[in-house]
Amino acid sequence: MHWDLMLWLIALISNIALLVLLIYQMICLSDLEADYLNPYETSSNINSMVLPEFGLQAAFCALFLVTGHFIMFIITLPVAIYHARL
């Protein structure tokens, strides 16, 4: 039961981190739309956030595999494979 609680807390924190990354990308895109940033600055800001997002998703998927939550692993596996192929 202890590992289920730890998995839930890690999943919650990683989901919050993914949400923060998504909000940051949306703010960058809205700044581009409002003409506060040029396209080069916006793309460099967003591209710097892509690899941490992919890594966090892969860690999230691996965590489900290690802890034995195979249904959740199968659900997150296609996204992890898509990110790995990119």
DSSP string, 52-74: HHHHHHHHHHHHHHHHT-HHHHH
What pLDDT is recorded for position 7? 79
Element (H, E) at 78: helix 70-85
Q: Which long-range contacts (CB under 8 A, 24 or more apart) does 4-9 make?
A: 4/67, 7/63, 7/64, 7/67, 7/69
What pLDDT is recorded for position 71? 92
What pLDDT is recorded for position 30? 92
Task: Name the stretches of the chain with pLDDT < 70.
Answer: 1
